[in-house]
Amino acid sequence: MAQAQSLHLAANRRRLVKDRLTQYGVTLGGVMVLVALLLIFFYLLYVVAPLFKGAKVEEKANWPAGQGASLALGLDEQNAVGYRISADGQVHFFAVQGKDAGKALADIKLDGPISALAAALPAQQSYALVQGGDSVVIIKPDFKVIYGDQGRKVVPALSYPLGEALRAVVPAGHGVQALGFEYGKDGALILALDDAGKLWLNRLDAQENFLTGETDWQQSQVELPTDGHKPSLLKVNANLRQAYALVGDKLLVYDLSQPDDPKLAQVLTVAGSGEKITAFTLLSGSSSLLLGSDQGKISQWFEVVGDEGRHFAHIRDFDLGQPVAALAAEYNRKGFVAAGSRGNVTLFHATSEARLASFDGQRPIQMLAYAPRANGLLAVDAQQLHFYKVVNPHPEVSWKALWEKVWYEGYAKPDYVWQSSSGSDDFEPKLSLMPLAFGTLKAAFYAMLFATPLALAGAIYTAYFMSDGMRRFIKPTVEIMEALPTVILGFLAGLWLAPLVEDHLPGIVALLLVLPLTMLLAAFGWHQLPEPVRHKVPDGWQALLLVLPLLLVGYGTMALSPLLEQWWFGGDTRLYFTNVLGINFDQRNSLVVGIAMGFAVIPTIFTIAEDAIYSVPKHLSQGSLALGATSWQTLTRVVLLTASPGIFSAVMMGVGRAVGETMIVLMATGNTPIMDWNIFEGMRTLAANIAVEMGESEVASSHYRVLFLAAFVLFLFTFLFNTVAEFVRQRLREKYSSL
């Protein structure tokens, strides 16, 4: 007896130890899951946080500017060497950092004092200049890198990108007062304002000598109309198809697309009453014009498409707070810096409309120049040159750029756009997350619209009406569907289902009407049969009788689809939708995604909902039936109410699955980031966008971090859905726990 008690106590102790270990293990597992979620959350924040840090500007060095008024400034790529072109006809090269900052490296003397100078786009670092008279010279400060025993050395030099000095820009005897200049590999344009106030366009076309391989420049000249006004500031577009001349408060826009017949295309009023334009420059890519005024306003203009074709429009304004003295644009981004007449210097970004950083110079800044990588800034005042270090990695990202409508260059109006990359260096990134968030919700909506009725109806019938024998076969079969890889579903949806839907759209639409009608007619016919016949089919197995009629009707409807298409849509559904109804139709669209992703979501909703309904205590349903309620009344007023917490959880789990789905929407849609509820158009979701673009993004770039931000938003979506689901489930459980 004592030995039996001892064995019993030992067994109890072992059981207690196992229970404790299980308890600790489950608790530890739950805690580790929470820790993992928190680590994911904080890692995403860690990667995303730099997007919203402002720019920093720090002065690193300053030194005397030297003699002669400054006409142009520039820096090399490494921010090691800078240059200044002075009015006395010299190009000064100097060190800009470290203990040698300001040290002269080379002084190259030109032929004489410079009477007029025009700069090409900053990325060109080339200048057209006049040294008295009517002769124009094109120069380019160069930085030749030499590697020797003492390491890397930058040797300043001066080159002539067009090969030689150019002559006869204006008629003989007239000097040049102002210039505009731009060039490319196939040609160059020079605008010149002569002493008489006439504006001349000199076009140079490059022709390669096939014998010597040398480039010959063929010149042509034409006078441009100015309506009797004398321009003050001249610019040429990088595409060599437009030129601009500032005349008081007007900006003359010339169309140069026809070399022999230039036209004055548009006259813009760019200043208000009593306002004077004091600075004029082009943004990177030269699509946008920036005009600064003596009232501290900087206006941006670019071409938009209207009823009368393309024309320049006033897009947005930036406020410097004091008269604008100088403007300088970045090389490859849509950022620019403005200097005020009272010493304020401010960094802006045009697309994000962000004021990035601001500082006060010791004296009013006369001229500015960005470094090629936008990580440095060279400025000159009346006495000194200043070099500033700039930390500004993500200027294109702001709350407005991510979530509000933005007016992008060339667009007719502000819009939500996602276009993260292009083949052009001066591309304007469009990083709106709204089309991606919308696409995610759109895909989930159509998937749930397809999956929820089928899954819940199947769960209700399987758990409440179906016989146990059939249930043991049907439930595992549906659950096995969840093991089907979504990449297979996406593959089938993109390559088989999408063409099938396009070719048989009338039949598929007809199925929505025919199949429910077939079920009702079959049920009505079944109840018209004699009772002895109906009793031969065991209770709960009647659903099998529907399979054959549904298959036959479905096949027949699809077979009649071409005939329906001929009757209803003139033989081509796609053309009818596009041309007659004005509805865009893409082969890979939301309908395909809804069907394919619905099949992926159905097993999740079905399994959880079926378990919840089947787990309702039998005494509740039996008691309801015993009190005289019908089976349908018992289902709707007892069983479904009791199982409602589980049913709601099933639906929300399905929503979470649909929101986070990647492969199906990646392969079954056109991945077009558009905002339209049209079921016949595609979308791009957050998850699919991350899968498509993460591999091509540069690590730590704005694009890279915005993709992590998309992942963070997706994380918040799923967290929100799960939180709401748990909250509602608890309320439903409390409300119906007394049943």
Reported as a pLDDT band with limits 50, 70 and 90, residue 244 is: very high
Average pLDDT for residues 722-734, to the nearest whole number?
78
pLDDT of residue 53 exceeding 80, the answer is yes
Please tell me the predicted confidence (pLDDT) of residue 1.
61
Q: Tokens for 139?
A: 């120069």
pLDDT of residue 326 exceeding 80, the answer is yes
Burial zone of 7 (CB within 10 Å; 0-12 exposed, 13-18 middle, 19+ buried): exposed
Reported as a pLDDT band with limits 50, 70 and 90, residue 564 is: confident
pLDDT of residue 582 exceeding 80, the answer is no
User: How many other CB atoms are found less than 10 A from the CB of residue 739?
Assistant: 13
Please tell me the predicted confidence (pLDDT) of residue 212.
65
Is 662 within 8 Å of 643 (Cβ atoms)?
Answer: no
**What is the C-alpha separation between 303 and 309, in angstroms, rounded?**
10
pLDDT of residue 169 exceeding 80, the answer is no
pLDDT of residue 206 exceeding 80, the answer is no
Q: How far is CA 318 from CA 57, 292, 507, 600, 625, in A?
A: 19, 9, 56, 50, 74
Radius of gyration of the chain (CA): 37
Is 304 within 8 Å of 313 (Cβ atoms)?
Answer: yes
Residues 662-715 have pLDDT tens digits of 888 888 887 888 888 888 888 899 998 998 888 888 888 899 999 999 999 998
Average pLDDT for residues 407-418, to the nearest whole number?
91
Q: How far is CA 106 from CA 3, 111, 154, 250, 690, in A?
A: 104, 16, 11, 41, 50
Reported as a pLDDT band with limits 50, 70 and 90, residue 94 is: very high
Q: Tokens for 251?
A: 């900006």
Does 1.10.3720.10 match the CATH number of domain 434-502+587-736?
Answer: yes
Please tell me the predicted confidence (pLDDT) of residue 737.
64
Q: How does DSSP assign 49-66, residue by residue?
A: GGGGPPPEEEEEEEEE--
Please tell me the predicted confidence (pLDDT) of residue 165.
52
Please tell me the predicted confidence (pLDDT) of residue 456.
92
Q: At 719, is the secondary structure helix, strand, or coil?
A: helix
Average pLDDT for residues 715-721, to the nearest whole number?
84
Please tell me the predicted confidence (pLDDT) of residue 585.
82
For residue 612, give the nearest of 636, 647, 637, 654 by alpha carbon: 647
Q: Which CATH number fits domain 56-419: 2.40.50.140, 3.40.630.40, 2.130.10.10, 3.40.190.10?
A: 2.130.10.10
Please tell me the predicted confidence (pLDDT) of residue 378.
92
Average pLDDT for residues 139-158, to the nearest whole number?
82
Please tell me the predicted confidence (pLDDT) of residue 370.
93
Is 129 within 8 Å of 117 (Cβ atoms)?
Answer: yes
In the sheet that holds 127-130, the strands lie side by side as 116-119, 127-130, 136-148, 151-159
Q: Which residue has the higher pLDDT, 531 or 78?
A: 78
For residue 480, give the nearest of 602, 358, 569, 577 by alpha carbon: 602
Q: How far is CA 437 from CA 48, 234, 659, 663, in A?
A: 17, 44, 10, 17
Q: Tokens for 625?
A: 């039936």
Q: Which residue has the higher pLDDT, 117 or 227?
A: 117
Q: Tokens for 473?
A: 């076969």
